[in-house]
């Protein structure tokens, strides 16, 4: 029998089988897709929340400080035009009655205007109460000069209220007079509905007789508005403003 040639071997070889098709790619599951979308939404929400926090706790302070400085300059320019003299009651409470100085809070000077409407306090100022109990004013012979300001955001003028201690000075500046108060009691936490702290004689502070008191109020804990933080002070003396507006010893 003749030997088989290479050609014959190739010819007689079984035909190659059809290639095995690659397994079909499984369609992406709906659950995995939903998880992916949810994750992206969480990231986006986190970024938005972070921006909102930065706006609320930082940028609103920047804007409020600018506005407060402008309003404060307007008040001081008005005082310069009027000069000293006259009666305190001639002061225009629409523009501001004076400036609060609290060294322990390290908040600079704080313009004080009439009313405690949040929109007004957003300008980085403090306001004196007209409701639910009307505030006395510093030059009144007796009563409680009651003030409110934001603790966080919008200037955060009372942010460091917790640093005030018994004996610390609180000074209120008007066009003609420095009113020097001394802290005598703090109430770190009370209900936001506790209006007794604003009474002419704040008995909750331990006082039982009419006097010339000052009450500072703001929200607590920090970054919340669930409760109120209260500080009480009592007038110890007054000092006339000289032509150079020399600071009293408590502010030097």
Q: Does pLDDT of 150 surpass 80?
A: yes
CA distance 85 to 175: 9
Tokens representing residue 83 in the block: 């000069």
Q: Is 219 a catalytic residue?
A: yes
Averaging pLDDT over each range in 29-38, 58-67, 233-242, which range is the top one?
233-242
Which pLDDT belongs to residue 124?
Answer: 96
Q: How confident is the model at residue 42 (pLDDT cuts 50, 70, 90)?
A: low
Give this prediction's pTM: 0.78
Q: Give 214's contacts (C-beta < 8 A, 6+ positions apart).
A: 138, 144, 145, 146, 147, 170, 172, 181, 232, 233, 234, 235
- Strand locations in 24-142 (E): 98-101, 109-114, 126-128
In the chain, the DSSP E strands lie at: 98-101, 109-114, 126-128, 143-148, 169-173, 177-191, 212-220, 227-240
Strands 98-101 and 109-114, by their bridges, are antiparallel
CB 72 within 8 A of CB 96: yes
Share of the chain above pLDDT 70, in %: 76
The hierarchical CATH code for the domain 53-85+93-251 is 2.40.260.10
Above 70 in pLDDT, residue 43? no
Q: Is the pLDDT of residue 75 over 70?
A: yes
- How far apart are alpha carbons 172 and 44 in whole angstroms? 47
What per-residue confidence (pLDDT) applies to 104? 97
The backbone region for 77, taken as left when phi is positive above 0, alpha when psi lies in -120 to 50, beta otherwise, is alpha
User: How high is the pLDDT of residue 40?
Assistant: 64
pLDDT, the chain, mean: 85
Nearest 5°: phi and psi at 6?
-60, -35
Domain ranges of the chain: 53-85+93-251
SS3 at position 163: helix
Backbone dihedral angles phi then psi of residue 208, each to the nearest 5 degrees: -125, -10
pLDDT 10s digits, 97-137: 999 999 999 999 999 999 999 889 999 999 999 999 999 99
Tell me the pLDDT band of 16, cut-offs 50, 70 and 90.
Answer: low
Catalytic residue among 197, 219, 231, 233: 219
The mean pLDDT of 197-202, rounded to a whole number, is 98
pLDDT for the residue numbered 71: 96
Secondary structure element (H or E) that encloses residue 70, with its range: helix 60-82
> Under a CB-based contact definition with an 8 Å cutoff, are residues 216 and 202 in contact?
no
Q: What is the pLDDT of residues 210-252, one digit of tens each?
A: 999 999 999 999 999 999 999 999 999 999 999 999 999 999 9
């Amino acid at each position: 029998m003749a030997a088989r040639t290479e050609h014959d071997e190739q010819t007689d070889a079984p035909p190659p089988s059809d290639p095995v098709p690659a397994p079909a790619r499984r369609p992406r599951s709906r659950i995995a897709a939903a998880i992916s979308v949810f994750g992206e939404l969480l990231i986006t929400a986190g970024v938005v929340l972070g921006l909102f926090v930065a706006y609320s706790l930082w940028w609103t302070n920047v804007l409020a400080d600018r506005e407060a400085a402008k309003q404060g300059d307007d008040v001081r320019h008005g005082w310069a035009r009027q000069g000293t003299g006259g009666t305190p009651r001639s002061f225009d409470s629409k523009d501001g009655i004076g400036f609060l100085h609290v060294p322990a809070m390290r908040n600079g000077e704080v313009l004080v205007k009439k009313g405690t409407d949040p929109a007004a306090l957003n300008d980085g100022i403090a306001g004196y109460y007209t409701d639910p109990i009307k505030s006395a004013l510093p030059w009144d012979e007796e009563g409680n000069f009651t003030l409110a300001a934001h603790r966080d955001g919008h200037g955060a003028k009372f942010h460091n209220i917790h640093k005030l201690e018994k004996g610390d000075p609180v000074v209120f500046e008007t066009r003609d007079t420095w009113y020097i108060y001394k802290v005598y009691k703090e109430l770190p936490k009370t209900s936001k509905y506790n209006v007794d702290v604003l009474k002419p004689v704040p008995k909750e502070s331990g006082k039982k007789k009419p006097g010339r008191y000052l009450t500072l109020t703001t929200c607590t804990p920090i970054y919340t508005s669930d409760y109120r933080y209260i500080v009480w002070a009592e007038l110890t003396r007054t000092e006339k403003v000289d032509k150079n507006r020399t600071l009293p010893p408590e502010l030097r």
